Amino acid sequence: MDEKQTVRVSKTLSRVLRHDPASVGITLDTAGWVPVDELLAGLARSGRRISRAQLDHVVATNNKRRFAFSEDGRSIRASQGHTVEVDLGLPPAEPPAVLYHGTGSATVGVILAEGLRPMARQDVHLSADTDTAVRVGARHGRPVVLVVDAAAMSAAGHVFRVSANGVWLTDSVPPRYLTLTG
């Protein structure tokens, strides 16, 4: 499977497992899982046939580890980023003192005034490093990295969770906890 095919399959899986499972005739359970056989059959019915080996390859090589197999390997889900209602069952976690959020320069003023909101997703996504935040921000234009005072948020009772692929999740980030990187 070449890199172009891998990216195409990864984008298809993201769309189906995060946003639109009905597009291939499948239903996610309440935790976002779907049996692999059902996913592959649904993809095939919709004209997007991939093999189990190709699926295994995409899950194993995705640099962002966007997808996870269940312990028995029979089910799959997206690690985070859902716009469909799921409960990933992630327990609260103590965040590092500082987390980061990458965005495009066009949205910085609004974010600093209103804070970070999940928009169409279920959670605000934060990273533990600036490199990841820059990559995320670059998808939205000229990247800007916001610093989140996660220690103060946690002390004030805000809950954080961390996904299987290391993305920090929270309901929102009020503006008082945000600053621009220097």
Domain boundaries, the chain: 3-78, 98-180
CA–CA separation, 113 vs 97, rounded Å?
22
* pLDDT of residue 63 exceeding 80: no
In angstroms, the first-to-last Cα distance of the chain is: 42
Q: Residue 121: what pLDDT?
A: 86
- pLDDT tens digits for range 123-142: 999 999 999 999 999 988 89
Nearest to 54 by CA among 103, 6, 123: 6
pTM of the prediction?
0.84
pLDDT band at 100 (very low <50, low <70, confident <90, very high): very high
Is 3-78's fold the same as 98-180's? no
CATH class of 3-78: mainly alpha
Give percent of the chain with pLDDT exceeding 70. 99
Q: Residue 29: what pLDDT?
A: 97
CATH architecture of 98-180: Alpha-Beta Barrel (3.20)
